[in-house]
């Protein structure tokens, strides 16, 4: 089988209970267009009697079934239970447009507007697993899209910084994540090629759009021992999901994990 890419109420979501420092509150409209920075505020989460929960649990069962079937020397057949638990908690339906809400828990990518997609749940689970997230980690995501991957990471690590090149998506995701109470996620509307140096180095970086190569500035923002997961390959073709690992001596190891198909990593045109 070849995968296709692409709450509990009234509590702050994510591992971090403290909101991000005040400098990240609100929308900081920066002077240059793409540098508008949206930070996420704490707010009530989804209802206790969430009617989507059974579908969400079924989605995670399906992810486990797919993981057990996918073959490849570096593909995990069992995913970290903490990752699966996070995906049982994140209300994916609340992060997709109303028009596709009923399909939110199907194991496939869905359109989120502006020609972009929210990735297939199995792929989100796999990429999160490959990052080996730990509670104290600080992670960077390139390609916020709907905010779903950021929310899954926010359940597992201390802080998530996420960059999105389409300003409208960045703004929407920041608002949705705030509405769900993810106080430990900050979203910035910008081209992520150069990363977000101010908050690095990072324990993990996840890139959710297909790049022609591994951006050197992102490798430079990984901590020693840090991991990056990134689809690499030509646009509109099958790409390779790559795991990039750094050691303390400046050595970088790359490993091809799985063929995938992602929307293109675009550069500074918006
Ligand atoms: C597959 S979608 C993202 C899925 C997202 N992680 C989610 O959970 O919904 C890829 C996203 O990467 C964004 N993107 C593409 N190139 C980018 C770049 N250079 N910097 C930041 N975002 C980029 C696209 O606009 C798109 O929203």
Q: How far is the CA of 164 from the centre of ligand 1 (A)?
A: 6
Domains of the chain (ranges, CATH numbers): 29-260 (3.40.50.150)
Q: How far is the CA of 51 from the centre of ligand 1 (A)?
A: 29
State which of 110, 124, 190, 209 you would mutate to test the pocket of ligand 1, scoring each by most atoms of that ligand within 8 A of its C-beta: 209
b/e for 19-40, b at 16 or more Cβ within 10 A? bbeeebeeeeeeeeebebbbbb
Band of pLDDT at residue 224, cut at 50, 70 and 90: very high
Three-state DSSP state, 229: strand
Give the separation between CA 219 and CA 216, rounded to whole angstroms. 5
Q: How far is the CA of 57 from the centre of ligand 1 (A)?
A: 26
Please answer whether residues 154 and 86 qualify as being in contact, where contact means their C-beta atoms are separated by less than 8 angstroms: no
Q: How far is the CA of 205 from the centre of ligand 1 (A)?
A: 13
CA distances from 213 to 205, 209, 235 (A): 15, 11, 11
- pLDDT tens for each residue of 1-55: 444 444 333 335 655 444 444 333 222 223 223 333 444 433 335 556 789 999 9
Bridge partners of 159? Answer: 138
State which of 124, 165, 170, 210 you would mutate to test the pocket of ligand 1, scoring each by most atoms of that ligand within 8 A of its C-beta: 165
Ligand 1 atom nearest to 192, measured from its CA: 20
- Atom 14 of ligand 1 has which residue's CA nearest to it? 143
The pTM of the whole model exceeds 0.85: yes
- pLDDT tens for each residue of 176-208: 999 999 999 999 999 999 999 999 999 999 999
Q: What single string gives the DSSP state of each residue in 7-56?
A: --TTS-BSS--SPPPGGGSSEE--SSGGG-EEE--------TT-TTHHHH
Is ligand 1 within 6 A of the CB of residue 116? yes
126 Cβ contact list (under 8 Å, min separation 6): 3, 67, 75, 76, 79, 241, 257, 258
Tell me whether residue 175 is exposed, middle or buried, using C-beta atoms within 10 angstroms of its C-beta: 0 to 12, 13 to 18, 19 or more. middle
Is ligand 1 within 6 A of the CB of residue 158? no
Closest CA to 56 of 98, 104, 112, 117: 104
What residues are annotated to the active site? Answer: 119
């Amino acid at each position: 089988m070849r995968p296709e890419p692409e709450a509990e109420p009234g509590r702050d979501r994510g591992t971090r209970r403290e909101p991000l420092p005040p400098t990240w509150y609100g929308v900081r409209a920066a002077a240059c267009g793409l540098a508008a920075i949206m930070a996420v505020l704490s707010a009530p989460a989804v209802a206790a009697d969430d009617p989507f929960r059974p579908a969400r649990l079924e989605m995670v069962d399906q992810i486990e079934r797919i993981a057990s079937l996918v073959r490849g020397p570096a593909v995990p057949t069992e995913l970290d239970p903490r990752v699966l638990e996070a995906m049982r908690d994140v209300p994916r339906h609340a992060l997709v447009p109303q028009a596709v809400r009923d399909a939110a828990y199907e194991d496939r990518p869905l359109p989120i507007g502006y020609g972009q997609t929210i990735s297939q749940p199995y792929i989100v689970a796999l990429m999160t697993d490959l990052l080996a997230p730990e509670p104290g980690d600080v992670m960077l995501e390139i390609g916020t899209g709907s905010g779903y991957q950021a929310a899954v990471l926010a359940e597992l690590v201390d802080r998530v910084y996420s960059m999105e090149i389409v300003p409208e998506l960045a703004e929407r995701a920041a608002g949705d994540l705030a509405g769900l109470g993810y106080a430990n996620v900050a979203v910035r509307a910008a081209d992520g090629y150069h990363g977000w140096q101010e908050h690095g180095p990072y324990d993990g970086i996840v890139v959710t759009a297909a790049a022609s190569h591994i951006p050197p500035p992102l490798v430079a923002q990984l901590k020693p021992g840090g991991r990056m997961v990134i689809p690499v390959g030509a646009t509109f073709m099958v790409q390779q999901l790559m795991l990039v690992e750094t050691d303390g001596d400046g050595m970088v190891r790359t490993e091809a994990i799985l063929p995938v198909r992602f929307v293109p990593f675009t550069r500074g045109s918006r």
